[in-house]
């Protein structure tokens, strides 16, 4: 029996199967990423509990209630209460260094509890918000056929159509639109982002702009907020290292597969890597690795081309059965 020659389609099938395996393999990089995300989950409620105390100390609930009552009585001229999820917290240093003066006494920093909130040194316009959101909600984005790793994969590269396409898809899937920079009345997020952000809004009195309402806190409280911000930044770092590792493996696979003349060589490589795959499966799979042309799946696909007046419920049932068969194969 003659050997099947390798071609671009077969190379893509093998590469996709390898990446799928690499993303679920228990490596040090993946474990570090998962632990970093667990750390964020542990610190979020603790930091927000502190934020509640600090904000309500600055804006007592009875004052908030009074302002709301006056707005109800006199209308929009007294509309001075808003809900916000980002704050400028500040504490005063007890002792100054020799080269410092009173202008250096107050330490202030911007903290945003939102899903897309910056966790870098910039207040708003940096990429760390999206880097965190994509890494933190990685599984949710994967489930929506999005690429949550796009920013890590494109790290250091200029903007390009490929990058833009996936960023826009991720933002849409998470419900990010013109993200709220200030308070809940400005928030146009939907879905996942809105659900996440809604947990962290607090009542504030006065202007909606963070910088013009710096809120005093203790050094210990400030450090609690800082710990969360650093944990979010660490999640981004761990995600980057994990994806860097996979991208290096992908590049090595591409180089090797390009040199192979026969499909059997690619199959042998995968077996050496501990991934079971055979030529027959590669031949009958599409480039994404799904076995769509086995009898059951092909029949289901053809049936779906007929009876186009089916109800929505019937179409959903057929789709679920199709996905079930894929998992079995």
* Residue 122: predicted pLDDT: 66
Question: From start to end of the chain, where are the E strands?
Answer: 81-84, 86-92, 106-112, 202-205, 215-216
Q: Give 253-298 pLDDT, tens digit per residue.
A: 999 999 999 999 999 999 999 998 888 878 876 555 444 444 455 4
Q: Could you tell me if 312 and 177 lie in one domain?
A: no
State the first-to-last Cα distance of the chain, in angstroms, to the nearest integer: 26
- Model confidence pLDDT, tens digit, residues 52-61: 999 999 999 9
Domain range spanning residue 309?
A: 290-329
d(CA 34, CA 191) in angstroms, rounded, equals 24
* Chain segment 18-64, per-residue pLDDT in tens: 999 999 999 999 999 999 999 999 999 999 999 999 999 999 999 99
Whether 141 is in a domain gets the answer yes
Answer whether 11's CB lies under 8 Å from 266's CB: yes
- Write the pLDDT tens digit of every residue in 154-212: 999 999 999 999 999 999 999 997 554 445 555 566 799 999 999 999 999 986 556 56
Same structural domain for residues 324 and 183?
A: no
User: CB under 8 Å to 134, separation ≥6 — which residues?
Assistant: 141, 148, 149, 150, 151, 170
**pLDDT exceeds 60 at position 317:** yes
- 179 and 310 fall within a common domain: no
**Which position has the higher pLDDT, 296 or 107?**
107
Q: Are residues 141 and 203 in the same domain?
A: yes
pTM for the whole structure: 0.80
Q: Total structural domains in the chain?
A: 2
Residue 242 · residue 34 · CB < 8 Å: no
141, 148 Cβ separation under 8 angstroms: yes
Residue 267 in domain: no
Helix axis angle for 128-136 and 219-259, nearest 10°, is 70
Task: Give 327's pLDDT tier (boundaries 50, 70, 90).
Answer: low
Do 235 and 141 belong to one domain? Answer: yes
């Amino acid at each position: 029996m003659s050997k099947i020659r390798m071609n671009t389609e077969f190379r893509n099938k093998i590469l996709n199967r390898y990446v799928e395996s690499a993303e679920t393999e228990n490596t040090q990089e993946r474990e570090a990423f998962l632990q970093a995300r667990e750390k964020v989950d542990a610190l979020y409620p603790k930091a927000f509990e502190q934020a509640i105390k600090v904000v309500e100390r600055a804006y007592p609930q009875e004052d908030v209630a009074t302002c709301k009552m006056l707005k109800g009585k006199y209308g929009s001229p007294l509309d001075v209460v808003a809900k916000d999820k980002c704050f400028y917290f500040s504490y005063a240093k007890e002792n100054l260094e020799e080269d410092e003066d009173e202008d250096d006494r107050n330490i202030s920093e911007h903290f945003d509890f939102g899903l897309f909130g910056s966790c870098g040194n910039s207040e708003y316009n940096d990429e760390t918000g999206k880097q965190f959101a994509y890494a933190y909600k990685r599984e949710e984005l994967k489930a929506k056929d999005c690429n949550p790793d796009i920013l890590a994969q494109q790290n250091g590269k200029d903007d390009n159509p490929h990058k833009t396409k996936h960023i826009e898809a991720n933002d849409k899937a998470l419900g990010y639109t013109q993200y709220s920079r200030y308070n809940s009345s400005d928030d146009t997020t939907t879905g996942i982002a809105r659900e996440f952000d809604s947990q962290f809004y607090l009542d504030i009195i006065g202007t909606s702009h963070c910088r013009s309402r710096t809120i005093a806190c203790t050094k210990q409280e400030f450090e609690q907020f800082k710990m969360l911000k650093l944990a979010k930044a660490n999640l981004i770092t761990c995600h980057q290292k994990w994806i860097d590792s996979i991208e290096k493996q992908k590049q090595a696979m591409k180089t090797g597969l390009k040199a192979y003349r026969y499909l059997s060589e690619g199959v042998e490589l995968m077996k050496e890597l501990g991934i079971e795959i055979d030529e027959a499966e590669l031949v009958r799979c599409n480039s994404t690795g799904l076995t769509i042309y086995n009898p059951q799946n092909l029949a289901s696909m053809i049936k779906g081309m007929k009876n186009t007046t089916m109800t929505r419920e019937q179409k959903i049932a057929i789709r679920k059965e199709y996905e079930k068969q894929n998992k079995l194969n």
